[in-house]
Amino acid sequence: LFVCLFVTISVMLHSGLAVAAVFVGGVAVVGAAIVYVKNKYIEDKVGVDDDANKKRDITGGKNKSAEKIKEDVSVQLLKSAIHAKRVLKKLVEEPVLAGDSVQDDLLDTLWKHLKPNVKRDERVTKLWNQIGFQGTDPSTDFRGMGMLALRSLTRIATHHPEVIDRCLREDNDQYSYFFAIAGINLCQTLYGMLMEHGIFLNLLFQDNLKEDDHYVNSFVAALADTWLQFDTLYIQEISKYIADGGIPEIAIMQFENIRNKFTPLLEQRWLAAASSETTTFFIRMERTD
């Protein structure tokens, strides 16, 4: 292109068309620059050959600058966060329905891990109250959070015994609350926070695209951490409530107020982690087996 341009300008100069030559030369240079930038952009974003694709591989960028590697990592994080958001949203929109065999199996698993010594023969029974459901049919308590809440509760029961050991209390304990309902509410709190703050999605899902279960498991790991943090605040607030003359038997009625107080504290905790360059805060989140 530049060779052709040089020949064209030379001919025009010999013909006495100096001004026109300069004009044409300027236009041609600009045009050549635009074409080059355009092609370079397409090559960078889409890839035109195997070598280019290899250079964009963030696991093997030996010939890439630090800025380019950082850019590629950012793109991968963004893709992962977007995919995770879709996975979680889809589960929230999937209702928990009575009689669904897959969902019933999850409820059975939840029951067996929380109440291994209590036999439950019927699906609709008051026994569900023992693990913190409000009605005789647990499916009615999942409205609003759907399958994400059911899968989260079940995985908490099977993979996060620290939550069960600490937060599932007997009814006569002054610090007890409806365990299952609390889990659903905290699931809603965490989900809402992740959907509102994209930076938190990037923090939690620091991986390339993986199977959908990976994102659910990471979410539940974050929920386990959230639950333990909430429980600490709950004990503090109930202790203060009773010390100020509150009635222990109705202390559970403070749950929603404490949850509302907890939400901004949770956001502050995650923001602090986001502002630091350490992943220590997310060690618990890495339990995705």
Q: How confident is the model at residue 153 (pLDDT cuts 50, 70, 90)?
A: very high
Q: How confident is the model at residue 57 (pLDDT cuts 50, 70, 90)?
A: very low
pLDDT of residue 5: 40
Check pLDDT > 70 for residue 143.
yes
pLDDT of residue 212: 85
Check pLDDT > 60 for residue 53.
no
Interval 204-223 mean pLDDT: 81
- SS3 string, the chain, reads CHHHHHHHHHHHHHCCCHHHHHHHHHHHHHHHHHHHHHHHHHHHHCCCCHHHHHHHCCCCCCCCCHHHHHHHHHHHHHHHHHHHHHHHHHHHCCCCCCCCHHHHHHHHHHHHHHCCCCCCCCCCCHHHHHHCCCCCCHHHHHCCCHHHHHHHHHHHHHHCHHHHHHHCCCCCCCCCCCHHHHHHHHHHHHHHHHHHCHHHHHHHCCCCCCCHHHHHHHHHHHHHHHHHHHHHHHHHHHHHHHHCCCCHHHHHHHHHHHHHHHHHHHHHHHHHHHHCCCCHHHCHHHCCC
Q: Work out the number of other CB atoms within 10 angstroms of the CB of residue 168.
A: 21
| Of the listed ranges 118-132, 159-173, 205-219, 243-257, the one predicted with least confidence | 205-219
pLDDT of residue 274: 79
| Of the listed ranges 36-40, 115-119, 160-164, the one predicted with least confidence | 36-40
pLDDT of residue 12: 42
pLDDT of residue 103: 95
Interval 83-102 mean pLDDT: 93
Check pLDDT > 70 for residue 215.
yes
pLDDT of residue 199: 80
Higher pLDDT, 39 or 218: 218
Check pLDDT > 70 for residue 76.
no
User: Each residue of 19-39: pLDDT tens digit?
Assistant: 333 333 443 433 443 333 333
User: Each residue of 180-212: pLDDT tens digit?
Assistant: 999 999 999 999 999 998 888 877 776 655 678
Longest dimension (CA), the chain: 104
Higher pLDDT, 239 or 73: 239
